[in-house]
DNA sequence: TTGTATGCGTTATCAC
DNA sequence: GTGATAACGCATACAA
């Protein structure tokens, strides 16, 4: 038997109050307590009241581990993203957590750093088993890793399109979005467009798709992208964006516009243009991708592609919750849900009206 | 007995493989399997190998609910923050999750929106019971709520100083940091300093402390803060910062500097100055608080106070893990650990050398 | 070093 | 409507 607790001590854990204790106190059975707690329909108001009284008197709290063990579900899902400090993933996580809460789920966040090995580990780790399912935004995974995604638990992939095998995923319009941004720059009369950001050729990520959309748009206008105008940045941050922009300029490349493969890259690049005294959009127009909050308040504000982040988050959560409810694993023939992107024109490309540097 | 699994079906859940199955397969007892899995020292290499073989053959994965129930610990902690989309909390969460991972813990993230009711709910909700402890960054709580913090589970409070009762917490130097920022602006010769951001008078948050530090610094220089130069913004975002700045300017207040109670407020204010054609720092110097990533790349870059975020995160996690290990609840006499802030001078106040608008 | 028996707190299956 | 009782899968005394 457990040693008798010393009442005067404030040590923790306080003697746990179980359903049995509540049942004893209320003079009912454990099952009845369970019925009350779980709001089962057929309980007499009288007994119900007695049980509730006992619960509050004893300060009873449900033990989730026991409940999970019995139910076979935890009420938690895992969200795996590269890094929370990247605004896009912070905002995405915000929405995933909010929507999950609406659906009664709590979210456990894992950071992979976008590193392939750690992404593979997330898929198979014991920690993953603590939750009912996984929403996964991969970055380092390659098409060759597709088989690793055929796991035996509910899984929804985020943001990528190329990795799809039989895995459910919510994709964004990377190609279309990038194409729209490029076409917009072309319409503004820009012809010497730099690209900031690069990607692992073996990868299957947003990088290759956005680059393709960009390149195709140029090709449609009979323009060939000059590789000297590509600023390499495998990691997509403000810092690497700035470095990439510097390299392009120091290479002596002639540039009248910049397309950042995402917003932080674009903002990093814009910072360098600012340092060099180049006016945006007067001398160089800038566009990004993601529509993060910063871009709405930067000076000048940043033209970008809104990938439908809120929609992606909501869809992913609903899909996953549905898979969990239906007891369906990944690898059982995955749906692809594509969210349409939207170009948002702001000052960094001349504003909606195409005027010059704004505001004066 | 459990029905024989149909090998051809891919439905989930696949028949769960338990320790018993592994034990049977390896020809050992459950206890031995447990020993191997938990890396107990005294296991014969031979049996160990047999067990590991059985595990991989059967694809055995530990059931965490069962383990948690038996152990009385889950290996998870909860992190409750206002909103992940606010860069400060995104970066903080990033670090908390990373440090927790180092210590073998997984982090469950809750968003309170900074709303008092939801903050109180986080403290007592059933969901909280899913984890071993809580790292809590309150925003809406008031001194009157102090008793709600005396919970019977490990709790570490973040960032606030005023709410301390007997609760462990990791505080930042709000007063000192704000004072340093104000003194810096005064040294730069600014005298008509606006404050952007406000706070609930009944609250006990960073707002009142930072405002106090600011006001004290001015008083020390014989300057009284003109309330017409205060831009109210209860919610601290770029949007509200911009609105507050607009109100101050439209009020006709004469301003040569702005202190944002945090960085996003300052950036929102800076955006408005940009729109009005006011030069920063030429016409108006701007300083913030938090040292978020954006401020390092804004144009101009933002002078700010680095509150020691990484240190705060690390300290909080270590403290909480320690409390969990020692089985110590909140309310048992809390330590206060204060992290020292550091002023970081950038272009928005003239740069380290005090020069004018930079770069040209 | 390894096996056996029991408990962890909840839910589910039945009788009553 | 309500009550006894058997899972749920793992850890841990204690025995061997």
In this prediction, residue A81 carries a pLDDT of 97
pLDDT tens sequence across A171-213: 999 999 999 999 999 999 999 999 999 988 877 689 999 999 9
Task: State which protein residues have CB closer than 7 Å to strand C.
Answer: A 2, 16, 18-20, 30-31, 34, 37-38, 60-63, 66-67, 69-71; B 27-32, 35, 42-44, 46-48, 66, 69-70, 72
Q: What is the C-alpha to C-alpha distance for residues B203 and B197, in angstroms, rounded to an integer?
A: 14
Shortest distance between the Cα of B267 and any Cα of chain A, in A, equals: 7
Q: Is the pTM of this model over 0.75?
A: yes
In this prediction, residue B326 carries a pLDDT of 85
Contact B338, B275 (CB under 8 A): no
Radius of gyration of chain B (CA): 26
Q: What is the mean pLDDT of chain A?
A: 89
Q: What is the C-alpha to C-alpha distance for residues A294 and B238, in angstroms, rounded to an integer?
A: 8
- Runs of H (alpha helix) within chain B: 19-26, 30-37, 45-58, 64-71, 87-102, 116-124, 174-187, 206-220, 238-250, 263-275, 293-297, 309-326
Query: For residue B63, which nucleotide's C1' is closest to its Cα?
Result: D9
Q: Give B-chain residues touching A152 at CB under 8 angstroms.
A: 12-14
H or E segment and range at residue B195: strand B193-196
pLDDT-derived band at B76 (thresholds 50, 70, 90) equals very high
Residue A357: both structure tokens together: 């540097």
Contact A348, B33 (CB under 8 A): no
DSSP string, A45-79: HHHHHHHHHHHHHHT----HHHHHHHHS--SEEEE
Number of helical H runs and strand E runs in chain B: 12, 12
Shortest distance between the Cα of B222 and any Cα of chain A, in A, equals: 35
Q: Which residue has the tokens 């910049």?
A: A258
Of B69, B75, B274, the CB nearest to A69: B69
CB interface of B with A, residues 274-313, below 8 Å? 274-275, 277, 293-294, 296-301
In this prediction, residue A355 carries a pLDDT of 57
Q: Is B105 on the interface with A (CB under 8 A)?
A: no
Contact A286, A280 (CB under 8 A): yes
Domain boundaries A15-51, corresponding CATH code: 1.10.260.40
Q: Distance from residue A133 (CA) to nucleotide C4 (C1'), in Å?
A: 36
- Runs of H (alpha helix) within chain A: 19-26, 30-37, 45-58, 64-71, 87-102, 116-124, 174-187, 206-220, 238-250, 263-275, 293-297, 309-326
Q: Give A-chain residues touching B328 at CB under 8 angstroms.
A: 11-12
Please, which residues bridge with residue B170 across strands?
B158, B337
Chain C positions under 7 Å from a protein CB? 1-5, 7-13
Residue of A nearest to B150 (CA): A10
Please, which residues bridge with residue A337 across strands?
A170
* Contact assignment for B111 to A94 by CB distance below 8 Å: yes
Q: Which residue has the tokens 């705060």?
A: B312
Q: Give A-chain residues touching B110 at CB under 8 angstroms.
A: 97, 106
Q: What is the C-alpha to C-alpha distance for residues B85 and B109, in angstroms, rounded to an integer?
A: 13
* Contact assignment for B297 to A110 by CB distance below 8 Å: no
CB interface of A with B, residues 190-219, below 8 Å? none
pLDDT-derived band at A1 (thresholds 50, 70, 90) equals very low
pLDDT-derived band at A14 (thresholds 50, 70, 90) equals low
CB interface of A with B, residues 309-328, below 8 Å? 327-328
pLDDT tens sequence across B19-46: 999 999 999 989 899 999 988 877 888 8
Q: Are strands B304-306 and B342-344 parallel, antiparallel or unpaired?
A: antiparallel
* Contact assignment for B13 to A108 by CB distance below 8 Å: no
pLDDT tens sequence across A261-316: 999 999 999 999 999 999 999 999 999 999 999 999 999 999 999 999 999 999 99
CB interface of B with A, residues 39-98, below 8 Å? 61-66, 68-69, 72, 74-76, 83-85, 87, 90-91, 93-94, 97-98
Q: Which residues have C-beta within 8 Å of that of residue B204, sequence separation ≥ 6?
A: B141, B142, B143, B160, B162, B163
Q: Distance from residue B166 (CA) to nucleotide C16 (C1'), in Å?
A: 52
Q: Is B104 on the interface with A (CB under 8 A)?
A: no
Ranges of CATH 3.40.50.2300 domains, chain A: 74-173+308-329, 174-306+343-349
Q: Is A3 on the interface with B (CB under 8 A)?
A: no
Most confident segment among A138-152, A316-330, B215-229: B215-229
Of A108, A111, A296, the CB nearest to B76: A108
Residue of B nearest to A326 (CA): B12
pLDDT tens sequence across A74-129: 999 999 999 999 999 999 999 999 999 999 999 999 999 999 999 999 998 888 98
Query: For residue B68, which nucleotide's C1' is closest to its Cα?
Result: D10
Q: Phi first, then psi: give them for residue B161, nearest 5 degrees.
A: -120, -30
Which of 3.40.50.300, 3.40.50.2300, 3.90.480.20, 3.90.1150.10 is the CATH number of A174-306+343-349? 3.40.50.2300
Number of Cβ pairs < 8 A linking chain A and chain B: 185
**Taking CA B352 as the corner, what is the angle to CA B350 and CA B354, rounded to the nearest 5 degrees?**
45
DSSP string, B299-331: SSPPBEEE--HHHHHHHHHHHHHHHHHHT--TT
Say whether the peptide bond before residue A359 is cis (omega within 30 degrees of 0). yes
* Contact assignment for B297 to A271 by CB distance below 8 Å: yes
pLDDT tens sequence across B122-172: 998 888 989 999 999 999 888 888 888 888 899 999 976 656 667 899 999
**CATH class for domain A74-173+308-329?**
alpha beta
Cβ atoms < 10 Å from Cβ of A203: 22
Name which of A9, A121, A130 to mutate to probe chain B: the one with the most chain B Cβ atoms within 10 A of its Cβ: A130
Cα-Cα-Cα-Cα dihedral of A208, A210, A212, A218, to 10°? -150
Q: Which has the minimum average pLDDT: A3-17, A141-155, B340-354?
A: A3-17
Shortest distance between the Cα of A340 and any Cα of chain B, in A, equals: 22
pLDDT-derived band at B224 (thresholds 50, 70, 90) equals very high
pLDDT tens sequence across B264-303: 999 999 999 999 999 999 999 999 999 999 999 999 999 9
Name which of A109, A277, A280, A295 to mutate to probe chain B: the one with the most chain B Cβ atoms within 10 A of its Cβ: A109
In this prediction, residue A358 carries a pLDDT of 45
Q: What is the C-alpha to C-alpha distance for residues A338 and A173, in angstroms, rounded to an integer?
A: 7
Of A97, A296, A301, the CB nearest to B109: A97
Q: How far is CA A315 from CA A82, A159, A262, A322, B345, in A?
A: 20, 12, 22, 10, 43
Q: Is A102 on the interface with B (CB under 8 A)?
A: no
Q: What is the mean pLDDT of residues B206-224?
A: 95
Q: What is the C-alpha to C-alpha distance for residues B288 and B255, in angstroms, rounded to an integer?
A: 16
Q: How far is CA B128 from CA B107, B114, B313, in A?
A: 12, 17, 20
Shortest distance between the Cα of B279 and any Cα of chain A, in A, equals: 11
* Contact assignment for A329 to B10 by CB distance below 8 Å: yes
Contact B348, B166 (CB under 8 A): no
With distances taken from each CA to the C1' atom of nucleotide C2, the closest residue turns out to be: B32
Q: What is the C-alpha to C-alpha distance for residues B344 and B98, in angstroms, rounded to an integer?
A: 25
């Amino acid at each position: 038997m457990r040693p008798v607790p010393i009442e005067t001590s404030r040590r923790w854990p306080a003697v746990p109050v179980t359903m049995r204790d509540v049942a004893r106190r209320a003079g009912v059975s454990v099952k009845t307590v369970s019925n009350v707690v779980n709001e089962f329909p057929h309980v007499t108001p009288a007994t119900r009241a007695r049980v509730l009284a006992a619960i509050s008197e004893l300060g009873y709290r449900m033990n989730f581990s026991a409940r999970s063990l019995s139910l076979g579900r935890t009420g938690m899902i895992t969200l795996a993203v590269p890094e929370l400090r990247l605004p896009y993933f912070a905002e995405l996580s915000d929405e995933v957590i909010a929507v999950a809460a609406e659906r009664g789920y709590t979210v456990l966040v894992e950071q992979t750093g976008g590193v392939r090995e750690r992404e593979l580990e997330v898929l198979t780790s014991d920690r993953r088993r603590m939750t009912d399912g996984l929403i996964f935004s991969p970055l380092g995974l390659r098409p060759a890793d597709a088989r690793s995604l055929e796991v035996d638990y509910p899984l929804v992939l985020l943001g990528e399109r190329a990795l799809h095998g039989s895995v459910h995923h919510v994709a964004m319009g990377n190609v279309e979005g990038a194409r729209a941004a490029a076409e917009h720059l072309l319409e503004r009369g820009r012809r010497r467009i730099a690209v900031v950001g690069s990607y692992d050729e073996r990868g299957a990520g947003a990088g290759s798709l956005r680059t393709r959309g960009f390149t195709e748009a140029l090709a449609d206008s009979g323009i060939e992208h000059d590789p000297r105008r590509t600023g390499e940045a495998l990691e997509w941050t403000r810092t690497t964006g700035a470095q990439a922009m510097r390299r392009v300029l120091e290479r002596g490349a002639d540039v009248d516009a910049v397309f950042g493969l995402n917003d932080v890259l674009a903002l990093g690049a814009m910072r360098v243009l600012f340092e060099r005294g180049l006016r945006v959009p007067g001398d160089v127009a800038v566009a990004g991708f993601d529509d993060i909050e910063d871009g709405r308040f930067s000076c000048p504000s940043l033209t970008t592609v809104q990938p439908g982040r809120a929609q992606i988050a909501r869809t992913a959560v609903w899909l996953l919750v549905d898979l969990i409810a239906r007891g369906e694993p990944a690898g059982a023939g995955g749906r692809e849900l594509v969210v349409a992107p939207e170009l948002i024109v702001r000052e960094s490309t001349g504003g909606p009206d195409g005027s010059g540097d704004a505001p004066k």
